[in-house]
Structure 1
Amino acid sequence: MTLTALRRPAASGKPEWLVVFLHGYGSSGAELMSFADYWRSSMPSVAFAAPDGLSPAKDGGFQWIGKRPAGDPRLYDDAVAATPALQAFLDAELAAHDLGPERLALVGFSQGTVMALHLGLRRAVAPAAVLGYSGGLVGADKLNDEIISKPPVMLVHGEQDALAPLYGMMASVKVLSAAGVVCQGVPVPGLGHEVNADALIYGARFLLSAFAFREKHGA
């Protein structure tokens, strides 16, 4: 399956990193590509890609996985089903930019965070970073048996998020840390199920530090 995607070339003209955005339920790649508007000036060597979800959402927009309650085991099954098409997309985007798999970063929002974590922990070569907003891990009980790589992870979450409560992020950090993943959770006071300027700043700092670390130490 070929995914429709928006793309932004590296401002420098020569990409050294690829950031792929994975949107939330009922959204599209275009919405998360707006993050690149904030980040491009500090990331001139980064190319950006933002695919639309695998299927239409019944409320409009697209989805990666079903709209299900937190903790529903079918969320994990949905993530597994979505994985082959997304992994193929990531590999094709890296190849198009002549970049190795260690030059990838995944950035998700809500169910896009679910997919970013699911994909990033199961790639043969660890991405440089996985950054998730307002979402967390599914299939925590299966992680130890399935984890292949351990990219650094940051999860940023609004303290007032009523749709995906903060405790889900905290639980994800605990499980990831126990699995040996370097993981940081950042609660944002006063923020709901959304991303604000503070959250974007936290994310940019994390990505830049992860790129610098990978540049120095390799995959």
Structure 2
Amino acid sequence: MTDLEFVQVNPVGEVKACVIWLHGLGDSGHGFAPIVPELKLPADAGIRFVFPHAPVRAITINNGYQMHAWYDIRSLELDKRADPTGVAESANLIERLIERELELGVAPDKIVLAGFSQGGVIALHLGTRITHKLAGILALSTYMSEPDKLASEASELNRQTPILMCHGRMDDIVPMTYGRQAYNALQQAGFNVQWQDYMMEHNVCADEIEQISAWLQARLTG
């Protein structure tokens, strides 16, 4: 696969930090780009947002329909939901985006890896294995690919990196129990993970955006 195209939202002044935010199945980088002004981050925070477009691929559960996706979904059963090969390929593509930010002068501990649904699967997979110390990992309405492999594959560098998991209590696309399983796996593996659920479905809500804003500012400013 070639390097990913992306939507980029730059701060007004100097770039001091970066959030790489991965969309869900069938969406694109354009889907979450409008959230930047809603976060109401300080003008001097200097945070660049990068919203990559996932590769277009056939999705088995959608009768082979081609769409932006980080990996194929062959079954809705949790242990078969994320294709491990696709997860690994997409994680490698996102790691190249992180390397790009490093080349542009952003320190690894000023980079947050974020993702919604499928994108959150990639964020959790890469963020717990990457050999750079990140500022944080944001996993929204998501689950984990192969949680049984986390303990043996995890990098020590990000054990204490703050991870924020948010989920909707009424989510019928990715049930909250799937998110809780990922949260439990992270806890058991010794990661610094925080959980918050909201009265919402498979989406984001105003209270969640407010919490994400505060969390990002705690990780990336000061």
Do the structures match in fold with TM over 0.5?
yes
Deviation, structure 1 residue 35: 1.6
SS of equivalent to 1:41: coil
Deviation, structure 1 residue 61: 4.4
The amino acid that maps onto 1:187 is D
Aligned pair count?
210
Which of 136, 143, 149 is equivalent to 1:142? 149
RMSD: 1.8
The structure-2 alpha-carbon separation of the partners of 1:72 and 1:8, relative to structure 1 and needing over 3 Å to count, comes to: same
**CA deviation string 1:116-165 (max 9, x = no partner):** 11111111122101111110221111011111132211111000000100
Hey, what's the Cα distance between the residues in 2 that align with 1:74 and 1:138? 6
Return 68-77 or 27-36, whichever deviates more: 68-77
Q: Which residue number in structure 2 is paired with residue 18 of structure 1?
A: 18
Contact 1:66 1:78 in 2 (8 A): yes
Contact 2:73 2:82 in 1 (8 A): no
Return 55-64 or 45-54, whichever deviates more: 55-64
| Consecutive unaligned residues in structure 2, runs of 5 or more | 60-64
Contact 1:53 1:62 in 2 (8 A): yes
Q: Which residue number in structure 1 is paired with residue 68 of structure 2?
A: 62
Q: Which residue number in structure 2 is paired with residue 177 of structure 1?
A: 187
The amino acid that maps onto 1:118 is H
Q: Which residue number in structure 1 is paired with residue 173 of structure 2?
A: 163
Hey, what's the Cα distance between the residues in 2 that align with 1:49 and 1:163? 25
Contact 1:18 1:94 in 2 (8 A): no
Q: Which residue number in structure 2 is paired with residue 29 of structure 1?
A: 29
Hey, what's the Cα distance between the residues in 1 that align with 2:10 and 2:148? 39
Contact 2:71 2:82 in 1 (8 A): no
Which of 110, 114, 121 is equivalent to 2:121? 114
The amino acid that maps onto 1:145 is S
Q: Which residue number in structure 1 is paired with residue 38 of structure 2?
A: 38
The amino acid that maps onto 1:47 is R
Hey, what's the Cα distance between the residues in 2 that align with 1:168 and 1:42? 34
SS of equivalent to 2:48: strand
SS of equivalent to 1:201: helix
Hey, what's the Cα distance between the residues in 2 that align with 1:17 and 1:106? 11
The structure-2 alpha-carbon separation of the partners of 1:37 and 1:195, relative to structure 1 and needing over 3 Å to count, comes to: same
SS of equivalent to 2:85: helix
| Consecutive unaligned residues in structure 1, runs of 5 or more | none
Q: Which residue number in structure 2 is paired with residue 75 of structure 1?
A: 83
Hey, what's the Cα distance between the residues in 2 that align with 1:158 and 1:187? 6
Deviation, structure 1 residue 73: 6.4
Hey, what's the Cα distance between the residues in 1 that align with 2:31 and 2:7? 10
**CA deviation string 1:48-106 (max 9, x = no partner):** 1111002245556411111342221653332112222221122113322x112221101
Correspondence 1:81-120 to 2 at 5 A: 81-96=89-104, 98-120=105-127
SS of equivalent to 2:11: coil
* Identity rate, percent: 24
Hey, what's the Cα distance between the residues in 2 that align with 1:61 and 1:37? 27
Deviation, structure 1 residue 40: 4.8
Contact 1:17 1:47 in 2 (8 A): yes
SS of equivalent to 1:49: strand
